[in-house]
């Protein structure tokens, strides 16, 4: 019997994600990390209620090296994407700096804790464990994965940052493809958390200082 979530869970999940991400990106900037944390708690909780694959997520020892390897591949991809965006996208450099400016809103240790304990795990449980699982049930493995990646990138449109939307689409496609190929949620959680902390706090992909007048 297929235990993946159905159409109702998918519809509720997408509506909730749209509302949550709009609130996260459109609210007062200085409270961004608080809203992002509540978004993670809300969407992650919804996934656990509505999806058996999400509830079945477990972390095994071998998920750690697999997840770290996945994060490393994605980081290299973003190194190349950063150079392309800054050079060829008219607003790319300013938009990348705007994204990295979020790391100054709270102490970095606090941001890392939020990313590792709530935001990163919740995104995988929700987007792969609920949204992608439901889409694969309805449309098949690879078409469902493509639709899930598009949905993940699409909810970032409310940020008003074209580069962030593109980056989310690339990252989403990476994790969606791995999930469709059979990589377990535990490894994807490790990948998401490691990648978030490394690229955002430890080793940004390029210049991150906000330009004067931006």
Does a structural domain hold residue 209? Answer: no
Residue 201 pLDDT > 60: yes
Reported pTM? 0.94
Instruction: Tell me the CA distances in angstroms from 208 to 78, 126, 194, 204, one per residue in order.
Output: 14, 29, 20, 7
The pLDDT value recorded for residue 207 is: 64
Does a structural domain hold residue 213? Answer: no
The pLDDT value recorded for residue 212 is: 43
Residue 213 pLDDT > 80: no
Instruction: Tell me the CA distances in angstroms from 134 to 73, 137, 139, one per residue in order.
Output: 27, 5, 9
Does a structural domain hold residue 23? Answer: yes
Residues 6+ apart with CB under 8 A from 97: 207, 208, 209, 210, 211, 214
Work out the mean pLDDT of the chain and round it to a whole number.
93
Q: What's the pLDDT tens digit per position in 70-109?
A: 999 999 999 988 888 888 777 888 888 899 999 999 999 9
Place of tokens 């709009």: 22
Give the number of domains in the chain: 1
Domain extent, residue 109, equals: 7-202
Place of tokens 């493995």: 141
Does a structural domain hold residue 127? Answer: yes
Does a structural domain hold residue 212? Answer: no
Mean of pLDDT values over 177-205: 96
Residue 165 pLDDT > 70: yes
**Distance in angstroms (rounded) separating the CA atoms of residues 96 and 53:** 34
The pLDDT value recorded for residue 86 is: 81
Residue 188 pLDDT > 70: yes
Spatial contact of 17 and 43, defined as CB atoms under 8 Å apart: yes
The pLDDT value recorded for residue 158 is: 92
Does a structural domain hold residue 2? Answer: no
**Distance in angstroms (rounded) separating the CA atoms of residues 178 and 191:** 11
Does a structural domain hold residue 115? Answer: yes
Task: Using a pLDDT cut of 70, give the percent of the chain over it.
Answer: 95
Task: Using a pLDDT cut of 90, give the percent of the chain over it.
Answer: 80
Q: What's the pLDDT tens digit per position in 30-56?
A: 999 999 999 999 999 999 999 999 999
208 pLDDT tier (thresholds 50, 70, 90): low
Single out the residue of 191, 21, 204, 206 nearest to residue 103, CA to CA.
204
Higher per-residue pLDDT: 91 or 59: 59
């Amino acid at each position: 019997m297929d235990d993946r979530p159905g159409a109702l869970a998918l519809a509720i999940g997408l509506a909730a994600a749209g509302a949550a991400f709009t609130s996260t990106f459109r609210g007062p900037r200085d409270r961004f990390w608080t809203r992002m944390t509540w978004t993670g708690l809300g969407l992650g909780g919804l996934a656990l209620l509505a999806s058996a694959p999400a509830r079945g997520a477990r972390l095994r020892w071998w998920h750690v090296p697999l997840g770290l390897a996945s994060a490393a591949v994605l980081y290299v991809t973003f190194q190349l994407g950063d150079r392309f965006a800054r050079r060829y996208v008219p607003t790319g450099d300013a938009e990348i700096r705007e994204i990295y400016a979020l790391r100054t809103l709270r102490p970095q240790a606090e941001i890392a804790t939020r990313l590792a304990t709530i935001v990163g795990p919740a995104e995988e449980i929700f987007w792969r464990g609920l949204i992608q699982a439901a889409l694969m049930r309805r449309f098949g493995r690879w078409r469902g994965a493509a639709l899930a990646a598009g949905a993940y990138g699409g909810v970032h449109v409310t940020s008003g940052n074209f580069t962030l939307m593109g980056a989310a689409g690339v990252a989403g496609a990476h994790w969606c493809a791995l999930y469709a190929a059979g990589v377990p949620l535990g490894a994807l959680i490790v990948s998401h958390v490691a990648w978030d902390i490394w690229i955002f706090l430890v080793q940004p992909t390029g210049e991150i200082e906000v330009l004067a007048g931006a």
